[in-house]
Chain A
Amino acid sequence: AQKVTQAQTEISVVEKEDVTLDCVYETRDTTYYLFWYKQPPSGELVFLIRRNSFDEQNEISGRYSWNFQKSTSSFNFTITASQVVDSAVYFCALSVLEYGNKLVFGAGTILRVKS
């Protein structure tokens, strides 16, 4: 079975703090894709990043970075120097062949950044 766990229900930080959102996944498939989406208060999920199971290279995009570790089945997301505009719900998701390549979402982490 495939599953995504985001253990942090809600995180509150003060602006300029660094924050890491955890994502742990389960699948027996060797070929899969991992995603992060952001859902701002407007409601529309916005795609942030995709990683395939054969590429463990970490990625940095501005203040955002992602750490993919197959050994621990984790795909964590770090925001450096957080800003109020980062306040949103963040979802980690998994797509695997055995599940017909449909997305399985975690429960989401609410991030509140206070000024």
Chain B
Amino acid sequence: DVKVTQSSRYLVKRTGEKVFLECVQDMDHENMFWYRQDPGLGLRLIYFSYDVKMKEKGDIPEGYSVSREKKERFSLILESASTNQTSMYLCASSLGWGRDEQFFGPGTRLTVL
């Protein structure tokens, strides 16, 4: 079974803190993704990576950065957390593009106070 794990299910941080969200997949997938899920907006793509050290901006990259130093690990970084970044963050991975389904982690619910 493909397994995508995320470092925390719930996280509470203060405004201005640097926040790291970690994602690990165990199926040797090339592509990894970070989404943000908000009610009424569905999932919106923040960043994705198609190879180690490679990254591409998604639809809402502002205020976020990412790191992929190893194939199995994709980190999302909030350089200076703000209250409008309170959300559910979902990580996903896929073997290929287009037709290949994405496999999702359980999500991290981040609250920024």
Contacts and interface: CB of A to CB of B under 8 A. Distances in A.
A9 B40 contact: yes
Contacts of A95: 97-99
Interface of B: 9, 40-45, 48, 56, 58, 88, 90, 92, 97-99, 101-107
Interface of A: 4, 6, 9, 33, 35, 37, 42-47, 50, 52, 91, 95, 97, 100-103, 105-108
Contacts of A37: 104
A108 B35 CA distance: 14
B107 A43 contact: yes
Contact of A45 (B44, B99, B104): B104
Nearest to A110: B39
A47 B103 contact: yes
Given A43-B88, A43-B107, A105 B102 contact: no
A47 B42 contact: no
